[in-house]
């Protein structure tokens, strides 16, 4: 194991949080639109394109959170063998992960996301191509989601379902929404949450 920097995680929590929240916004503004443009060359239905991107975001967070849990267990098992303090074992584990996030196997998460998307009944893709075409977006989301798990408290995305009541606190309405409709037809981008409080609004389409 490489050496650790005691207290690094707590010391840098605020700056890492600010960076990751901003990065989540950048992905929405840049990589999401790049993926949208790319998908439109294969799929004419804009709703399907937006559903694909939203599901990619949700699956990326899920895969990254699972990978983080497994990574943390392995680090804890290894560090517990020689841990003597003064920091708690949990703090030492977190410091190690923050310092060595490059050890996260992001490609394994990307592969897992694509596998999950291939069997998702809500989205479809022309058979001659693969969801791997948006792997840049998936990779960036996985990296951000993994890093967000190292924060105290961790950040996560809101759970959204088709047909749910539209929430002004969670989402912006997409410009092609029916602005009088009360229900979400589908989601474009997830809201970012901290302790069940929205810190960055997502985007949704409302229709009657």
Tokens of 161: 């379902």
Q: One digit per residue, pLDDT tens: the chain, 208 residues?
A: 445 554 666 778 889 899 999 999 999 999 999 999 999 999 999 999 999 999 999 999 999 999 999 988 888 878 777 766 667 767 777 787 788 788 889 999 999 999 999 999 989 877 777 899 999 999 999 999 999 999 989 999 999 999 999 999 999 999 888 889 999 999 999 999 999 999 999 999 999 8
Return the pLDDT at 74: 85
Q: What is the pLDDT of residue 86?
A: 62
CA distances from 125 to 42, 121, 128, 187, 188 (A): 8, 11, 8, 18, 17
Query: Looking at the DSSP assignment, which residues form a beta bridge with residue 187?
Result: 204
Instruction: Count Cα neighbours of 80 within 13 Å in the Cβ-side half-sphere.
Output: 7
The predicted pLDDT at position 1 comes to 46
Q: How far apart are CA 96 and CA 68, in angstroms?
A: 13
End-to-end CA distance of the chain: 57
* Residue 126 tokens, joined: 């022309």
Distance CA 70, CA 89 (A): 16
Q: Do residues 202 and 170 lie in contact, with contact meaning Cβ atoms separated by under 8 Å? A: yes
User: Rounded to whole angstroms, how far apart are CA atoms 178 and 181?
Assistant: 5
Q: Residue 150 in contact with residue 101, Cβ under 8 Å?
A: yes
């Amino acid at each position: 194991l490489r050496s650790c920097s005691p207290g690094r995680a707590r010391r840098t929590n605020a700056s890492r949080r600010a960076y990751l929240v901003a990065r989540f916004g950048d992905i929405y503004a840049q990589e999401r639109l790049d993926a949208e443009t790319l998908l439109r060359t294969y799929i004419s239905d804009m709703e399907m394109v937006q559903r694909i991107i939203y599901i990619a975001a949700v699956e990326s967070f899920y895969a990254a959170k699972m990978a983080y849990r497994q990574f943390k267990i392995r680090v804890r098992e290894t560090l517990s063998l020689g841990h003597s303090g003064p920091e708690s074992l949990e703090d030492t584990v977190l410091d190690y992960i923050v310092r060595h996030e490059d050890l996260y196997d992001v490609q394994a998460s990307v592969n897992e996301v694509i596998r999950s998307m291939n069997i998702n009944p809500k989205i479809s893709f022309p058979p001659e191509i693969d969801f791997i075409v948006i792997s840049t977006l998936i990779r960036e989301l996985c990296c951000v989601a993994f890093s967000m798990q190292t924060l105290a408290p961790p950040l996560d995305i809101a759970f959204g379902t088709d047909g749910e009541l539209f929430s002004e606190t969670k989402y912006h309405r997409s410009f092609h929404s029916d602005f009088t409709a009360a229900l979400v037809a589908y989601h474009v981008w997830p809201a970012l949450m901290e302790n069940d409080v929205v810190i960055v609004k997502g985007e949704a389409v409302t229709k009657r």
